[in-house]
Homo-oligomer: A and B are copies of this chain.
Amino acid sequence: MTAGHSVGPVGKDTSPATVVGVDFGTLSARAVVIRADDGTELGTGAAEFASGAIERSLPIAAAGPLPPDWALQDPADWRSALGAAVRAALADARVPRESVIGIGTDFTACTVVPAMADGTPLCELPGLRERPHAWPKLWKHHAAQDQADRITDLAHERAEPWIARYGGRISAEWQFAKALQVLEEDPEVYGRVARWIEAADWIIWQLTGTETRNACTAGYKGIYQDGHYPSREYLAALNPGFADFADTRLAVPALSALGSRAGSLTAAGAALTGLTEGIAVATGNVDAHVSAPAARATDPGQMLAIMGTSTCHVMNGSFLAGVPGICGVVDGGIIAGAYGYEAGQSAVGDIFAWWIGQGVPEAYADEAGRQGQSLHEYLTKRTRGRPVGYHGLVALDWMGGNRSILVDHHLSGVIVGLTLATPPEDVYLALLESTAFGTRVIVEAFEAGGLPVTEFVVAGGLKRNHALMQIYADVLRRPVSVASSDQAPAVGSAIHAAVAAGVHADVRCAAKAMGRKEHAAYQPDRARADAYDVLFAEYRTLHDHFAPASNGMLHRLRRLRNEGGAS
């Protein structure tokens, strides 16, 4: 096995050295095999998680319903999808497994595993399998909002210095809110938790046999800033039983930088993946952040939006700025040596799918079928060429809550301007637009915070939606660049693997050698951009009206829903 900077043919084979990247999404794992020198994509493979996102009931016999806003996952799914996806990618690439000199992975976050000291997930222990709190909580588990509110409020009350790094709010999606929920709702399970570990790091543990913690999730999801977690005093004030949470369940001697080598593939890891024992395993990473080098968006001011079911916005900055409502700023959070800023929208593609899921008129379904188009394509086509605002609608894209800049998962969606003449495609278009408006709010928050956005780059499945990309260019009044790969996270993971294997000096160099994008693929149309300014002003008015600081209606309605009604 060759490593180091030489990336010519490996061993006696003539294949170039390759690296494998595996992206653990919400419903599946996708793997790529790429050349370690120039990033050429050689093959891909994917495998779904058998239980997907567990939102209604545990996948065990006689399981009762989960409460509202819960979302769990099964670690067994991760293991088996990993093995299947990597094997499929290798077969697709038609390269020998010996060509693979490193593997990198990325995960959804904060998806967090309550584990034993040896990494065994609690949900795999006899007697705990029926306990929902013993299962990994998926990123979109939104049932810890009360805990998150208390974490935020207490931080402000005590003037904790780290709260400003998170836009002033700690999300219900993150490690502390989720852990505090376990403590308060199932203290017995909490008592069994030895390690509270991001799935991003847990999977590396499976591959290397060693626990590591990456700088990205520790910073963004674990409130690790300036060398430490929140203090014992702070945690004790939240809940006396929580005082030692960080010291005992999170802490490791040192965090691992992104792009560093977490370790080498163990025999067990090799059996799991079908790769060669001993190859480099890159430090764990997050789907959004890991994509930046794949899309060549690692310089300060290059904002990368990874658009799929939800959107993550990541951008490097060369200095520390205060941007209210962002998810976080972490030193080395995207690449080592820069401040990584992150923001997001909880639901994007999920909103479009939700609307389609409400049903479409039979005639539409028939016509789409005849034309061989998806319903998404067909609805989009029906609005093609219409002037901006012809539908008289504006919507708030909060059907999955608001991650930035309000950081509140108990918000909900609003549609305004409906008439008896409003057809479903008009609502669909208004929903597409609402997500672009939501992104504009985020871009404006960055710029108001002193961080100019010099390039807007899109990766993720929605980059293939040309109409949507044009709307984003028009609404943002700026060109939209697009990552070339359809597998930006997996490619990004593979790039990190190449760095971990020593092929490139660092992630930024690797990005230049291996990343790909179409620069300014979409140009804003000036007239439409002007027209969208008008509609965006309405969006912003609605946004500020329904923001919880000025209006509790959405919270009150959510409470009604979560409590099962008022009667």
Cross-chain contact B361 with A357 (CB below 8 angstroms): yes
Q: Map CB proximity to B onto A63-106 as digits: 1 under 8 Å, 0 otherwise.
A: 00000100000000000000000000000000000000000000
Cross-chain contact B531 with A556 (CB below 8 angstroms): no
Residues in chain B near residue A560, CB distance under 8 A: 389-390, 392, 534-535
Cross-chain contact A359 with B424 (CB below 8 angstroms): yes
* Shortest Cβ distance from residue A176 to the other chain B in the assembled complex, whole angstroms: 24
> Contacts A347-B420, A416-B554, A420-B399; is A389 near B561 (CB within 8 Å)?
yes
Taking each of A392, A530, A535, which has the highest tally of chain B beta carbons within 10 Å of its own beta carbon? A392
Residues in chain B near residue A361, CB distance under 8 A: 357-359
CA distance A420 to B140 in the complex (A): 12
Cross-chain contact B357 with A359 (CB below 8 angstroms): no
The answer to whether A538 has its CB under 8 Å from any CB of chain B is yes
* Shortest Cβ distance from residue A128 to the other chain B in the assembled complex, whole angstroms: 27
Of residues 422 to 446 in A, which have CB atoms within 8 Å of B's CB atoms?
422-424, 427
Cross-chain contact A567 with B358 (CB below 8 angstroms): no
* Shortest Cβ distance from residue A164 to the other chain B in the assembled complex, whole angstroms: 30
Cross-chain contact B531 with A565 (CB below 8 angstroms): yes
Which 6 A-B residue pairings sit nearest by Cβ, starting from the closest? A392-B561, A387-B565, A531-B567, A413-B418, A531-B566, A359-B359
CA distance A400 to B420 in the complex (A): 6
The answer to whether A386 has its CB under 8 Å from any CB of chain B is yes
* Shortest Cβ distance from residue A260 to the other chain B in the assembled complex, whole angstroms: 37
Sorting the interface of chain A by its residue count into under 10, 10 to 19, 20 to 34 or 35 or more gives: 35 or more
The answer to whether A319 has its CB under 8 Å from any CB of chain B is no
Cross-chain contact A557 with B393 (CB below 8 angstroms): yes
Q: Map CB proximity to B onto A334-360 as digits: 1 under 8 Å, 0 otherwise.
A: 000000000000010011001001111
The answer to whether A10 has its CB under 8 Å from any CB of chain B is no
CA distance A256 to B354 in the complex (A): 56
The answer to whether A414 has its CB under 8 Å from any CB of chain B is yes
Cross-chain contact B414 with A530 (CB below 8 angstroms): no
Contact of A420 among B354, B360, B388 (CB under 8 A): B354
The answer to whether A541 has its CB under 8 Å from any CB of chain B is yes
Cross-chain contact A424 with B391 (CB below 8 angstroms): no
The answer to whether A253 has its CB under 8 Å from any CB of chain B is no
CA distance A412 to B394 in the complex (A): 11
> Contacts A362-B365, A392-B560, A558-B392; is A541 near B565 (CB within 8 Å)?
no
Chain A positions near chain B (C-beta within 8 angstroms): 68, 347, 350-351, 354, 357-362, 364-365, 386-394, 399-400, 412-424, 427, 527-528, 530-532, 534-535, 538, 541-542, 545-546, 553-554, 556-558, 560-562, 564-567
Residues in chain B near residue A400, CB distance under 8 A: 419-420
| Copies per assembly | 2
Cross-chain contact B417 with A566 (CB below 8 angstroms): no
Cross-chain contact B566 with A534 (CB below 8 angstroms): yes
CA distance A424 to B364 in the complex (A): 17
Cross-chain contact B417 with A554 (CB below 8 angstroms): yes
* Shortest Cβ distance from residue A393 to the other chain B in the assembled complex, whole angstroms: 7
CA distance A504 to B107 in the complex (A): 82
Cross-chain contact B416 with A565 (CB below 8 angstroms): no
Cross-chain contact A527 with B567 (CB below 8 angstroms): yes
* Shortest Cβ distance from residue A552 to the other chain B in the assembled complex, whole angstroms: 10
Cross-chain contact B422 with A354 (CB below 8 angstroms): yes
Cross-chain contact A389 with B420 (CB below 8 angstroms): no
Cross-chain contact B391 with A561 (CB below 8 angstroms): yes
> Contacts A416-B414, A538-B553, A538-B556; is A389 near B359 (CB within 8 Å)?
no
* Shortest Cβ distance from residue A455 to the other chain B in the assembled complex, whole angstroms: 25
Of all chain B residues, which has the CB nearest A394?
Answer: B557
Of all chain B residues, which has the CB nearest A388?
Answer: B567
Residues in chain B near residue A413, CB distance under 8 A: 417-419
* Shortest Cβ distance from residue A479 to the other chain B in the assembled complex, whole angstroms: 19
Of all chain B residues, which has the CB nearest A416?
Answer: B414
> Contacts A358-B424, A418-B414; is A389 near B567 (CB within 8 Å)?
yes
* Shortest Cβ distance from residue A475 to the other chain B in the assembled complex, whole angstroms: 12
Beyond known contacts A413-B417, A414-B416: 20 more, CB 8 A cutoff: A68-B421, A351-B420, A358-B424, A359-B364, A359-B365, A359-B424, A388-B566, A390-B561, A391-B561, A399-B418, A400-B420, A414-B414, A416-B553, A419-B561, A531-B567, A532-B566, A532-B567, A534-B566, A538-B553, A542-B553
6 contacts between A and B (CB under 8 A): A359-B364, A387-B567, A416-B557, A528-B567, A531-B566, A538-B553
* Shortest Cβ distance from residue A406 to the other chain B in the assembled complex, whole angstroms: 15
Of all chain B residues, which has the CB nearest A354?
Answer: B420
Cross-chain contact A564 with B387 (CB below 8 angstroms): yes
Cross-chain contact B389 with A530 (CB below 8 angstroms): no
